[in-house]
Structure 1
C-alpha cells in the first residue's frame, strides 16, 4: 500500500452535495481511502450548502418532497433536463452556483486536485475566467448518465460501467479521460462468505433462504407491510428488514408481525453498519435503486429486486440493471413476491442471476483504484513541470 511522507502529501478537495445520501457516501469513501494511506489532508465541502445555505435548504427540501410525494414531477424534471448542455442557459446557471465560494476555497486550501461527486461544476467554469484551476475529476454516482455531468473542463471521469464510458465518448469526451472504476463504497464494505458466526449474530437460520429488504434513506419504500406479509406466507422464507434510522417503521413492523418475529422468520433491524455481513447471508435483495446500494449488492453478487422505482435516476438505474439480467422490477406486492419466490425456489435460476450480477463488477475497490489513478496523474504532472 502506498503511503505518503508528510511533506509530500497531496491535498484533495472533494465537492459534494446533500441531495440524497449517495454523493456524500462516495465523498467519504474517497476521503477514507486517502486516510488509509496515511494522508489526512482531504477537505470535504458541500459547496451549495456553504455558498448558498438558504437556497440549498429550499431546493433540498423540494428535492426530497418531490422525490417522495410527487415522483412524476421529479421524473419529468430529470428527463427534461437530461439532454441539457453545460453551456446552455440553464446549464450555465446551475454550474455558476458557488463560484465565489470556490474561488475563496482555492485561495485558502490550495488543493492539488479537486474531486466532484455531484455535477455542480463551478470550479471548471472558473477556468474560462481565470485560466487556472487544479485538475478536476468527476465520479458519476449512478448507472445512468445525466448530461449535467458532461463538462469539457473535467480532466477525468470515473464511471460504473463500460456502457457509461461509451455514452461519454459519444458525447465527445476522449476515451482516455474515462475510467471504468465502479462506484466507491464505504470503508469496511467487502464481499464475504457466509459463516455460522454471522448467522448467529443476526439470528438467522442457515437452512432457510433469506430475503433482505432495505427500505431506503429517502423516505420509506412503499408497501413494506404488504411485501413482508406476502413473503412470510411461504413458511420456508426468512425476511431481514433494515429500517435504517426510521424508528417508526421499525416499531410498526415489529408490532404488526410480532407472531413472525417470535417465530424467528421476520428480523427487523435499525441502522446496520456492517451491511455487507447481512448481504452475505441473503439470497436476494429488495431495495430502492440508488447507485451506491446497487453497487453494494453487485459487490456482494446479490440478485436485486426493485419495487416501484421513482422516475429519474433510480428508475434508469433499475432499467439498466434489468437489461443486464441483474435486477427485476415490480410495481405490485404480489408481483414482487411471485418474482422472488420463483427465483429462490430455482437453484439454476438463482445461480444465473448471481452470474449476471457478477459480470457487472467493475472493481473490487473502486475508491482505491480512483485514488491511485489520481495520485499517479498528479505525479506525472509534477515530473513534467520539473523538466
Structure 2
C-alpha cells in the first residue's frame, strides 16, 4: 500500500516580508526534498482580517513615527511567559480558524514562522497528536516564541540555542540551523537572471560596489540624503534596490539618470545576483535580509536601526564583528570610507561573517522535519 505524502501546514504573518519569505523557503525545501504537500496560512489575516489590518497599520506607524515606544514595548515584553495572563491573550487569536483548518487539512506537522501560538492550547483541547515546530526569524529571542509545548525550535545561532535553553526549553529540542532563506543565495544556478550583464554592469578595476537595500520593509530612512553623499565618492558603484516603492525609484532615476555608477531596481527576483556582485551592503536589520547578506559573505552596514528586534539584531551582529551600526548619515559615510580605504577591515568582517554562516538553513530544517516524520508522523519531541 502506497504511503501518502506528508501534509505540512506553515503558519506565518504578513507583518513585513520576512515571515512569509521564511515560510516559502521552508516550503520549497520540503517539496523538493520530501515531496510533501505544504500549505501556507496567514493565520491572523484569515481569522481576524479587520484586526489584522488595524494591527499592521499600528505596527507600521509605531515603527516609523514612535520607534522608541515600539522598542520599549518590545523589550519590556521580551521576557514574557507563554502561560502568563498576557501570553494566554496574545496566543488566543486565530484559534477558531485554525481549528477549522486542522479538521479540514489534517496536517502531519505544523510550522510557525511567526510567534502566534494558538496551536499548543488547541492541540490539547482537540486531543490531537500533532507535532509543532517554531522557526525563529531573528537573531534575537523574544518570549513570544517560547512555549513549553512546542516540540522543536530552529534558531539562527548557537547563542540563541543556549539562551532558549536557559529560559527553560530542553536543549535537545533546539537546533541552531540559521534562518531559512531562498536556495538561490547558496546555489548559483537557482533563480539566476537570464543575462546578468544587462542588469548588473561588469565591475571596473579598483571599483567598490555597494548594495543599498532601500525598500526593506518601507523605505530606508534618509535614503536620498545617503545617495547624495555616496554619489560623490570616487571608485564607488551603487546598486539601489527600492523594492515595491515605485515613487522612490522614480525619484532616484530622475536624480541620477546620467550618473554612470548608480543603478536602481524595483522589486526584483535576483537579489542573490546583486549581492554576489557587491562588496558591501547597507540595509535595515531584519532577520531575513541579514541572513541573506551573511550567506553572500557581505560586510553589513546598518543605518538607524529601530529599537526592538531590529536594533537587537544589529547589536548582536556588531558584537560578532559582522556589522557596523550608523546612527547618522555622516557616521554611515565614514563607515563606508573606512571599509573602502582599509581592505583589512572588510576582511575581518568577512571572517566574522563566515563564522555565522550556516549552510542551507531551509534544507537543514526540512531534512530534520522529514526525519522526524519518517517512522510515525507523530511527534518531533526528542525528550
For structure 1, the 5+ residue unaligned runs are: none
Bigger mean CA offset, 229-238 vs 289-298: 229-238
CA distance in 2, matches of 1:204, 1:71: 39
Counterpart among 264, 279, 283 of residue 283 in structure 1: 279
Indicate the residue corresponding to 1:106 in structure 2.
102
Distance 2:56 2:344 in 1: 44
CA distance in 1, matches of 2:252, 2:73: 34
Q: Secondary structure at the match of 1:239?
A: strand
Instruction: Find the aligned partners of 1:320 and 1:179 in 2 and give their Cα distance.
Output: 19
How many Å apart are 1:133 and its aligned residue? Answer: 4.1
Taking the TM superposition and a 5 Å limit, the aligned residue runs for 1:151-190 are 151-190=147-186
Q: For the residues of structure 2 that align with 1:301 and 1:6, how far apart are their CA atoms?
A: 44
8 Å Cα contact 2:216-2:283 kept in structure 1: no
Would you say the 8 A contact 2:33–2:367 is kept in 1?
A: no
Q: Tell me the secondary structure at the aligned position of residue 356 of structure 2.
A: coil
State the match for 2:39 in structure 1.
43
Q: Quick check: 1:149 aligned with 2:145?
A: yes
Partner-residue secondary structure (3-state), 1:56: helix
- Is it true that 1:327 corresponds to 2:327 in the alignment? no
Structure 2: tracts of 5 or more residues without a match: none
Structure 2 CA distance for partners of 1:382 and 1:247, relative to 1, 3 Å: closer
Shift of 1:66: 1.1
Q: How far did 1:81 drift?
A: 1.4
Distance 2:61 2:287 in 1: 20
Paired residues of 2:185 and 2:296 also in contact (CA < 8 A) = no
Deviations 1:320-356 (A, max 9, x none): 0000000000011111011111112212221111111
Decide whether the 8 Å contact of 1:283 with 1:344 is kept in 2: no
Query: 293-302 or 205-214: which moved more?
Result: 205-214
- Give the 3-state SS of the residue equivalent to 2:225 in structure 1: helix
Aligned counterpart, 1:235: 234
Describe the SS at the equivalent of 1:96. Answer: coil
Conserved 8 A contact 1:199-1:205: no
Secondary structure of residue in 2 paired with 1:297: helix
The TM-score, its normalising length taken from structure 2, stands at 0.93
Higher relative contact order, chain-length normalized (CA < 8 Å, sep 6+): 2
Whole-angstrom CA distance in 1 between matches of 2:345 and 2:163 = 31
Deviations 1:221-248 (A, max 9, x none): 1111121121222211111111011110
TM-score, normalised via structure 1 length: 0.92
Taking only aligned residues, the RMSD between alpha carbons, in angstroms, comes to: 2.0
What is the number of equivalent residue pairs in this alignment? Answer: 374
SS in 2 for 1:36: helix
Matched, 1:202 2:200: yes
Partner residue of 1:83? 79
